[in-house]
Amino acid sequence: MKIKSGFKLKKIIFLFLALVIITISIGCLGGAVQNGDQQIKEGVGTRPAWIDIELRDVATGREFKISDFKGKPVLMESFAVWCPTCTEQQKQTKVLESRVGDAIIHVSLDTDPNEDEEQIREHIEKNGFDWLYAISPIELTQALIDQYSIKVVNAPAVPMILICPDQSTRFLRSGVKTPDDILAEVEKGC
């Protein structure tokens, strides 16, 4: 009898602790998702300060800011050279670029702090990509995380932000997007 009640008590304590851990985890995850959604909603229709942060094109050394492209749609993706889904998205972007030319500005922003310009140049040359590539400064990466949540730097999810001609922004769905998907998003606007 004593073994059964001791076992029962341990089982109840275990279940209680498991329930507490699950509840805390769901609360944390739910809060992150809720805050991420709230942050995304706040980003729509507003001009974020991060579009004025100086960037440097890895291929040319030319300095630029996202705000330099006011009046044109800009697609900015967060990526890393080690990420195969990022490369697949960039191949789709290359097809899109061949169709629309410079009607849409493309910026690939490396958010992996362990990568350098040489690695990015090799990636560009190996794949024949020819749009703007830059290493994200820490303050830009943090501003993007603050606005869109940590998912904006999850390279395998191929995060992409649409910056509309009025420089309001919208986070696009995760996953590889075809040229037609991207065009539909640009037409939808912010």
Judge whether residue 11 has pLDDT over 80. no
- The per-residue pLDDT of the chain, averaged, comes to 82
The residue to which tokens 């024949």 are assigned: 128
- CA-to-CA distance for 110 and 33, rounded, in angstroms? 24
**What is the mean pLDDT of the segment spanning 60-71?**
96
Task: Measure CA 88 to chain center.
Answer: 15
- CA-to-CA distance for 96 and 100, rounded, in angstroms? 6
pLDDT, tens digit, for every residue of 103-139? 999 999 999 999 999 999 999 999 999 999 999 999 9
**What is the mean pLDDT of the segment spanning 85-113?**
95
Judge whether residue 17 has pLDDT over 80. no
Judging by beta carbons within 10 Å of its beta carbon (0-12, 13-18, 19+), is residue 19 exposed, middle or buried?
exposed
Q: Indicate if the alpha-carbon torsion angle 141, 182, 95, 178 is positive or negative.
A: positive
Judge whether residue 1 has pLDDT over 80. no
**Contact criterion met (CB below 8 Å) for 82 and 112:** yes
Q: What is the pTM of this model?
A: 0.74
Reported as half-sphere exposure (CB side, CA atoms, 13 A), residue 151 has a value of 21
**How high is the pLDDT of residue 56?**
97
**How high is the pLDDT of residue 89?**
95
Q: Of 91, 103, 59, which is closest to residue 158 (Cα–Cα)?
A: 91
- Count CB-CB contacts under 10 A for residue 45: 12
Judge whether residue 97 has pLDDT over 50. yes
Judge whether residue 32 has pLDDT over 90. no
Domains annotated on the chain, with CATH: 49-188 (3.40.30.10)
Reported as half-sphere exposure (CB side, CA atoms, 13 A), residue 134 has a value of 21
**How high is the pLDDT of residue 60?**
95
